[in-house]
Amino acid sequence: NNLDTLYRQVIMDHYKNPRNRGVIEDDSLTINMNNPTCGDRIQLTMKVENDIVTDAKFEGEGCSISMSSASMMTDAIKGRQVEEALKLATTFSDMMQGKDLDVEDDEDLGDIEALQGVCKFPARIKCATLAWKAMEKALHEEEK
């Protein structure tokens, strides 16, 4: 249906024109993570200054879902406090589990609705979650 087509367009746009692709060089947080079921992998680098994620970039190889999700995730956490970014990861995982959250007003989360709409099966949900898990893990370690 139309909504499905729209969702696919949003995802393909992030896949073909990824936001924040690259590596932050200077003393940034770095984490590598892969999806063991397919081997797709992501490297995430983030810069945290005064408890704020001031920059986030990703590199990697993977399916359109995992790469577009990484693009959305890096966009969504930039400028947020570490705690807020972690909260966002929880919100994301709730959305992927099918919870209906009202996120339309949050422009960073608007695109994520496309992932929620398209990823209905566990394998795909894993694809979508890869970048978010990486972010959560790296920020939790930073907090310690």
Report the interface residues with ligand FES, using CB under 6 A: 35, 38, 40, 62-63, 65-66, 123-124, 127, 130
Under 8 Å between Cβ of 131 and 14: no
Which residue number, 88 or 128, has a Cβ lying nearer to ligand FES? 128
The DSSP letter of residue 64 is H
Cross-strand pairs, 81: 52
Which residue number, 63 or 103, has a Cβ lying nearer to ligand FES? 63
Smallest distance, ligand FES to C-beta of residue 66, A: 4
CA 96 to chain centroid: 12
Given the structure tokens 């959250």, which residue do they identify? 101
Smallest distance, ligand FES to C-beta of residue 10, A: 15
Which residue number, 24 or 38, has a Cβ lying nearer to ligand FES? 38
DSSP H or E run through 129:
helix 122-143
